[in-house]
């Protein structure tokens, strides 16, 4: 059992190293983009810190919409790809409203949608159980109590 | 001509006393108020009978309760056509006012002339002259010949049952022998030594040598006018016959003219091998001197053996005494004093070897009485193999065990001793004695070996009741439910059950139209009946199953022997069958069958009733449906348990699933936004 755990940890470690290498290369060759991305994904970092669930699904939802909100800003940056423009954009309240709105929508989705799904599925299961009990009752009425015997 | 159905109860409703009763399919009428006492037989009363179309004068013999006429001999009796033998006409079963129940009636022609003697111990004028004597002998010879040619045997030949047609004519006519068991009412003086030792009811059918012996005693009595020996007590006359020979014993105090001595030495010979047959009598009548065979002398010991304070010289007398004191007898057997006496004083090695065989075979049997009883009984057979089988207080010829059993059961006595005789396998030992070893006795032993197997299965349809009906083919069914109508065959059994069922109220739920007697009677008279049904009749078996088994048996009886509706029986069975419907699992089917059961049971068709409650297709469908329902219930139960158990974990899993879906939605929405942004920017 120890072997798979070790290999998973090794895989995680190597992918994290690859990410660092990619980040280093982006920072080296596209510093303005790196500055905007690092700054713009702050809500996602916050979600990552707060998300204690396995799989970090809330973080993924928040991150996806955070990135979606960052996309127009990146497109604008790439028209004047300089450090000053990147810093200027990070100082803009509009940019922050956009980025926080994206992340906020992601957060709301992550909180509301699963609960709705749980509610729907639970209600469906309850109805199914009632149907089963009704059918079983009819079987007993038709065949007698012995139909319930020898159940393992 | 009697038909098979002639013995069915003909008087459904009791006729009032004094009325005439039509019998034998309307051919004759019997008058219960017109007795003919001078023709009464021991165990049967005579009543006037007349043919519907007139005809010869007839009488009907109505046996007392616990008497069972020899219905099985009726077909043979019909074939007897002799002026010297009673003429059998027919048999029927009718309601008899005197007894308040059905009784058999044996119709015979009224004997011509008068009965020779009203009692064998009275005195009558001696038969005058040799020619008259020869006329009497000739008539007896011809009568006996015709009896045997018809396949019948008599068993009660004595002057109280012999008729003389007119004075001066000494031709005799032999009276009837069908109304009671053979030998039961025969005076012991007319029986051979061996049959004398048996209980009267257990003497069994007489063979021709025994009828000839009885004829000899009868002729001796008629010739001399009286025989004082016949007034002697049984034991005394028995001892006299054993010690002096029958002829000398019977002639005690009388003198026989020498002209007759050859004849009587021949017919009264105690050794059946030496006793004259019909041919010898015929030759004697033809004037041939037969050359008197030496009377068989019983082997005598040189020294006496003391047993129970008495001294014995004859093994036959010793065996007789031993059978009465089994404990003392066991002592002389076990201390070898009997063996020494047989070898040294009598010098009969064969008898001594037979005794050793009796000892060793008795030890090999574990059933049927105590070890002492089995030992002494077999030893008595070894000492006197021609004598009856003696066991406890019973002395019975093997062929007399059936009538004895019938007598015991019908009179409410315990049949234990007869059952023990059969279980102890003594009859096989008896038939294997060299003196008894012949085809007839081997067949008897085989019959008893067969009934022993039946006796050991103590289930309804078997046991002592089955043995009773197997050994007595003329017996009616003795079930208290139906014995009132004297049912001789299965049609009458069905009628009797229907009659009894009409008296059973709808509230009655414990009584059943079947008991051990009916079960045994049905199985003995209908061998092809499915015998696997009978163990289900056991009182311990399931009530519903038992009711179905009863219905199956009675349905077959109705179908094959009584093709008429039996509504009372079927309604009774309908009530008993209600528990049997519980075996069906489907409630709808049960309700439907319950309604159908009530409807069909009113029709009286037992087979239709059986088809309803015992339809294998319906049973199979019900079982298959039940199995499917149980399997379905079980599957649903698993799903339901799954759904209702571990809710928190389930909700957590659903929540996780929801989060995955949300993440997917988020990614999908983000991708869409990115695409829209890029598209807007560049196009």
Give chain A positions within 8 Å (CB) of B640.
129, 132-133, 136
Neighbours of B598 (CB within 10 A): 13
Round the average pLDDT of chain B to a whole number and report it: 90
What is the H or E stretch that residue B51 is in?
A: strand B44-51
Q: Which residues in chain A are closer than 8 Å to B583, comparing Cβ atoms?
A: none
Average pLDDT (A21-32) is 83
Bridge partners of B223, per DSSP, are none
Chain B residue numbers touching A58 (CB-CB < 8 A): 659, 663
B522: closest CA among B480, B481, B492?
Answer: B492
Q: Averaged over B176-197, what is the pLDDT?
A: 94
Residues 6+ apart with CB under 8 A from A89: A36, A73, A76, A77, A95
Are B663 and A150 within 8 A, CB to CB? Answer: no
Partner residue facing A132 (CB), from B639, B662, B663: B639
Q: From CA B409, how far away is CA A132, in angstroms rounded?
A: 65
pLDDT at B291 over 60: yes
List the single residue in A62, A132, A152 with the smallest CB-CB distance to B636: A132
DSSP one-letter code for B16:
P
Q: Closest Cα to residue A68, out of A90, A110, A100?
A: A100
Mutation site, B631, B644, B649, B658, interface A, largest A CB count within 10 A: B658
* Region for B287 from its dihedrals, namely left if φ exceeds 0, alpha if ψ lies in -120 to 50, beta otherwise: left
**Hey, how many other C-beta atoms are within 10 angstroms of the C-beta on B516?**
20
Question: Is residue B213 predicted with pLDDT exceeding 60?
Answer: yes
For residue B659, give the chain A residue with the closest CA: A114
Closest Cα in chain B to A53:
B656
Question: CA angle, corner B145, sides to B140 and B147, nearest 5?
Answer: 95
CB contacts, 8 Å: A75 with chain B = 677-678, 681
Chosen from B666, B671, B674, B681 to mutate, greatest number of chain A CBs within 10 A: B666
pLDDT at B54 over 80: no
Q: Which residue of A has its CA nearest to B623?
A: A143
Compute φ and ψ for B508, nearest 5 degrees: -75, 120
> Which residues on B lie below 8 Å from A103 (Cβ)?
none
pLDDT at B328 > cutoff 70: yes
- The alpha-carbon gap from A129 to the nearest alpha carbon of chain B, in Å, equals 6
Q: Residue B534 and residue B553: Cα distance in Å, rounded?
A: 9
CB contact under 8 A, A128 and B677: no
Q: Which class for A90: exposed (0-12), middle (13-18), buried (19 or more C-beta within 10 A)?
A: middle
DSSP string for B286-299: TT----PPPPPPPP
- B143's tokens: 């009568």
* B160 burial level (CB within 10 Å; 0-12, 13-18, 19+): buried
Question: Cβ(B218)–Cβ(B162) under 8 Å?
Answer: yes
**Burial of A78 (C-beta count, 10 Å sphere; 0-12/13-18/19+):** middle
- Residues in B touching A64 (Cβ below 8 Å): 663, 666-667, 669-671
Look up residue B166 and give its DSSP letter: E
* CA distance, residue B12 to nearest chain A CA (Å): 48
Q: Which pLDDT belongs to residue B581?
A: 86
Nearest CA in chain A to B674: A68
Cβ A72–B657 below 8 Å, yes or no? no
Rg of the Cα atoms in chain A: 26
Looking at residues B584-607, what average pLDDT do you find? 91
Q: Measure A82 CA to nearest chain B CA, in Å.
A: 19
Cα B202 to chain centroid, rounded = 13
Q: A53, A68, A76: best mutation site toward chain B, by most B Cβ within 10 Å?
A: A68
How many residues does this entry show for chain A? 152
Question: Inter-chain contact A64–B670, Cβ cutoff 8 Å?
Answer: yes
Distance of CA B259 to the CA centre of its chain: 46
CB spacing of A129 vs B643 below 8 angstroms:
yes
Burial of B443 (0-12, 13-18, 19+ CB in 10 A): exposed
Residue A23 has pLDDT above 90, yes or no: no
Query: Measured between beta carbons, which residues in chain A are less than 8 angstroms from residue B650?
Result: 125
In angstroms, what separates the C-alpha of A1 from chain B's closest C-alpha? 24
CA-based nearest distance A136→chain B, Å: 6
Q: Assign B615 to helix, strand or coil.
A: coil
Q: Do residue A117 and residue B661 have CB atoms under 8 angstroms apart?
A: yes
Tell me the three state secondary structure of residue B189. helix
C-alpha angle with apex B216: B150 to B210, nearest 5 degrees?
A: 50
Compute the distance between CA of residue B231 and CA of residue B120 in angstroms, rounded to an integer: 9
Residue range A38-91, pLDDT digits in tens: 899 999 999 999 988 888 899 999 999 999 999 999 998 988 889 899 999 999
CA distances from A6 to A53, A56, B205 (A): 21, 21, 106
**B124-133: per-residue pLDDT in tens?**
999 888 889 9
For B612-648, the pLDDT digits (tens) are 988 889 989 999 999 999 999 999 999 998 888 777 8
- A140 vs B663: CB contact, 8 Å cut-off? no
Q: Is the dihedral of CA B138, B141, B144, B149 positive or negative?
A: negative
Q: What residue ranges in B97-161 does DSSP mark as E strands?
A: 101-109, 114-115
Average pLDDT over residues B512-524: 96
**Dihedrals phi, psi of B59, to nearest 5 degrees:** -130, 155
pLDDT tens column, B333-371: 999 999 999 999 999 999 999 999 999 999 888 898 899
* Nearest C-alpha neighbor of B607 from the set B648, B561, B641: B561
- Which residues neighbour B393 within 8 Å (Cβ) at sequence distance 6 or greater? B417
How far off is chain B from A45, nearest CA to CA, in Å? 16
Least Cα separation, residue B661 to chain A (angstroms): 8
Residues A132, B640: C-beta atoms closer than 8 Å: yes
pLDDT digits over B6-42, tens only? 444 443 444 444 588 999 989 999 999 999 999 999 9
Helix axes B315-324, B371-383, angle to 10 degrees: 160
Residue B204 to residue B123: CA distance in whole angstroms:
30
Across the interface, whether the CB atoms of B633 and A117 are under 8 A apart is answered no
Chain A positions in Cβ-Cβ contact with residue B592 (cut-off 8 Å): none
Q: What share of chain A is helix, strand, coil (3-state, %, to 5)?
A: 85, 0, 15
* Minimum CA–CA partner of A129 in chain B: B640
Confidence of residue B322 (pLDDT cuts 50, 70, 90): very high
pLDDT digits (tens, 9 = 90+) for B137-168: 999 999 999 999 999 999 999 999 999 977 77
A139 contacts on B by Cβ (under 8 Å): 629, 632-633
ipTM of model:
0.80
Tens of pLDDT, residues B418-428: 999 999 999 99
Ordered strands of the B162-166 beta sheet: B114-115, B162-166, B169-174
Residue B489: DSSP 8-state: S
Contact A57 B632 (CB under 8 A): no
Cβ separation of A65 and B669 shorter than 8 Å? yes
pLDDT bin (cut points 50, 70, 90) of residue A27 is: confident
Higher pLDDT, B130 or B490: B490
Distance (Å, rounded) from C-alpha B63 to C-alpha A110? 109
What is each CA distance from A138 to A89, A132, B632, in whole angstroms?
A: 71, 10, 12
DSSP B346: I
Interface probe for B, chosen from A111, A118, A143, A146 (most Cβ of B below 10 Å), is: A143
Q: Do A141 and B636 touch (CB under 8 A)?
A: no
pLDDT number for residue B18: 53
What residues have CB less than 8 Å from B467, skipping those under 6 apart?
B405, B418, B419, B422, B451, B454, B455
The whole-angstrom separation of Cα A29 and Cα B239 is 148
Predicted pLDDT at A151: 55
What are the pLDDT digits (tens) for B82-125? 999 999 999 999 999 889 999 999 999 998 889 999 999 999 99
Considering only CB atoms, which chain B residues are within 8 Å of A148? 630, 633, 637
Per the listing, tokens 């059993």 go with B405
Task: Say what the pLDDT of residue B19 is.
Answer: 80
Rounded to an integer, what distance in angstroms lies between the CA atom of residue B403 and that of residue B408? Answer: 9
Angle at CA of residue A113, ends A112 and A116, nearest 5°: 90
CA-to-CA separations, B4 to B75, B91, B180, B630, in angstroms, rounded:
10, 10, 20, 55
Could you tell me whether strands B101-109 and B44-51 are parallel, antiparallel, or unpaired per DSSP bridges?
A: unpaired
Q: Are B105 and B94 in contact (CB under 8 A)?
A: yes
- Alpha carbons B518 and B204: distance in angstroms, whole number: 25
Residues in chain B: 683
Measured distance CA(A59)–CA(A65) in Å, rounded: 10
List of chain A residues whose C-beta atoms are within 8 Å of the C-beta of residue B635: none
d(CA B569, CA B543): 17
Q: Is residue B185 a contact partner of residue B378, using CB atoms and an 8 Å limit?
A: no
B272 versus B56: which is more confidently predicted? B272
The three-state secondary structure class of B108 is strand
Residues 6+ apart with CB under 8 A from B306: B312
- Answer whether B662 sits within 8 Å of A132, measured CB to CB: no
| CA pair distance B62, A21, nearest whole angstrom | 129
CA distances from B441 to B271, B316, B386, B433, B449 (A): 17, 21, 11, 10, 12
CB contact under 8 A, B634 and A151: yes
Q: Residue B3: its pLDDT value, please? A: 36
CA dist., res. A83 & res. A79, Å (int):
12
Locate the chain B residue with the closest alpha carbon to A79. Answer: B681
Contact criterion met (CB below 8 Å) for B181 and B403: yes
Nearest residue to B576 (alpha-carbon basis) of B514, B524, B530: B514
């Amino acid at each position: 059992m120890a072997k798979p755990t070790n290999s998973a940890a090794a895989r995680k470690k190597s992918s994290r190293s690859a990410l660092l290498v990619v980040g280093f290369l982006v920072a080296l060759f596209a510093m303005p983009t790196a500055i905007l991305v690092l700054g713009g994904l702050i809500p996602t970092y916050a979600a990552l810190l707060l998300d204690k669930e396995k799989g970090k699904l809330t973080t993924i939802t928040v991150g996806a919409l955070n990135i979606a909100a960052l996309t127009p800003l990146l497109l604008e940056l790439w028209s004047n790809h300089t450090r000053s423009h990147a810093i200027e954009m990070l100082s803009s309240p509009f940019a922050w409203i956009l980025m926080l709105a994206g992340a906020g929508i992601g957060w709301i989705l992550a909180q509301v949608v699963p609960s709705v799904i749980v509610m729907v599925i639970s209600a469906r299961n309850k109805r199914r159980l009632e149907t089963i009990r009704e059918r079983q009752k009819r079987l007993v009425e038709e065949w007698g109590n012995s139909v319930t015997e020898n159940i393992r | 001509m009697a038909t098979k159905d002639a013995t069915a109860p003909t008087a459904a409703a009791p006729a009032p006393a004094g009325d005439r009763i039509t019998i034998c399919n309307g051919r004759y009428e019997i008058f219960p108020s017109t007795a003919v006492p001078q023709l009464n037989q021991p165990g049967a009363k005579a009543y006037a009978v007349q043919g519907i179309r007139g005809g010869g004068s007839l009488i009907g013999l109505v046996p007392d309760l616990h008497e069972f006429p020899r219905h099985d001999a009726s077909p043979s009796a019909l074939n007897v056509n002799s002026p010297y033998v009673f003429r059998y006409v027919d048999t029927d079963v009718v309601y008899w006012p005197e007894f308040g129940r059905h009784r058999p009636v044996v119709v015979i022609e009224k004997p011509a002339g008068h009965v020779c003697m009203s009692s064998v111990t009275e005195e009558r004028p001696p038969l005058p002259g040799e020619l008259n004597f020869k006329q009497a002998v000739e008539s007896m010879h011809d009568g006996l010949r015709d009896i045997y040619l018809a396949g019948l045997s008599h068993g009660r030949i004595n002057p109280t049952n012999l008729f003389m047609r007119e004075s001066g004519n000494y031709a005799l006519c032999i009276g009837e022998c069908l109304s009671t068991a053979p030998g039961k009412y025969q005076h012991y003086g007319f029986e051979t030594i061996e049959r004398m030792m048996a209980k009267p009811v257990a003497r069994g059918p007489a063979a021709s040598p025994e009828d000839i012996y009885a004829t000899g005693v009868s002729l001796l009595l008629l010739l001399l006018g009286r025989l004082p020996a016949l007034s002697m007590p049984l034991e005394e006359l028995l001892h006299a016959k054993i010690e002096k020979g029958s002829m000398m014993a019977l002639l005690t105090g009388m003198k026989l003219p020498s002209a007759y001595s050859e004849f009587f030495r021949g017919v009264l010979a105690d050794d059946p091998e030496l006793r004259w047959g019909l041919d010898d009598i015929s030759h004697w009548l033809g004037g041939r001197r037969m050359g008197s065979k030496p009377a068989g002398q019983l082997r005598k010991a040189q020294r006496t053996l003391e047993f129970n304070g008495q001294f014995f010289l004859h093994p036959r007398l010793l065996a007789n005494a031993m059978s009465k004191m089994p404990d003392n007898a066991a002592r002389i057997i076990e201390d070898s004093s009997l063996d020494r006496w047989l070898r040294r004083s009598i010098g009969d090695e064969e008898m001594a070897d037979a005794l050793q065989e009796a000892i060793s075979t008795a030890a090999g049997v574990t059933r049927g009485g105590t070890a002492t009883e089995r030992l002494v009984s077999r030893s008595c057979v070894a000492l006197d193999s021609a004598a009856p089988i003696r066991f406890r207080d019973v002395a019975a010829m093997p062929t007399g065990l059936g009538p004895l059993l019938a007598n015991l059961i019908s009179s409410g006595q315990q049949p234990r001793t007869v059952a023990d005789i059969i279980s102890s396998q003594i009859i096989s030992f008896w038939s294997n004695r060299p003196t008894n070893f012949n085809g007839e006795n081997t067949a008897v032993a085989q019959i008893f070996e067969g009934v022993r197997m039946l006796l050991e299965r103590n289930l309804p349809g078997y046991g002592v009741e089955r043995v009773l009906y197997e050994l007595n083919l003329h017996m009616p069914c003795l079930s208290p439910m139906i014995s009132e109508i004297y049912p001789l065959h299965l049609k009458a059994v069905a009628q009797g059950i229907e009659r009894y069922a009409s008296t059973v109220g709808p509230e009655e739920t414990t009584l059943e139209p079947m008991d051990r007697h009916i079960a045994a009677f049905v199985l003995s008279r209908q061998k092809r009946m499915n015998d696997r049904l009978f163990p289900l009749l056991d009182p311990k078996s399931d009530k519903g199953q038992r009711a179905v088994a009863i219905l199956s048996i009675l349905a077959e009886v109705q179908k094959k022997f009584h093709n008429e509706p039996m509504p009372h029986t079927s309604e009774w069975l309908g009530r008993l069958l209600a528990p049997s419907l519980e075996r069906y699992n489907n409630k709808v089917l049960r309700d439907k069958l319950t309604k159908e059961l009530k409807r069909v049971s009113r029709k009286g068709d037992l087979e239709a009733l059986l088809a309803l409650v015992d339809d294998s297709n319906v049973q199979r469908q019900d079982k298959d449906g039940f199995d499917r329902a149980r399997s379905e219930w079980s599957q649903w139960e698993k799903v339901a348990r799954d759904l209702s158990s571990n809710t928190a974990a389930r909700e957590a899993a659903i929540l996780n699933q929801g989060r995955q879906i949300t993440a997917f939605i988020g990614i999908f929405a983000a991708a869409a936004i990115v695409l829209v942004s890029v598209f807007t920017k560049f196009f």
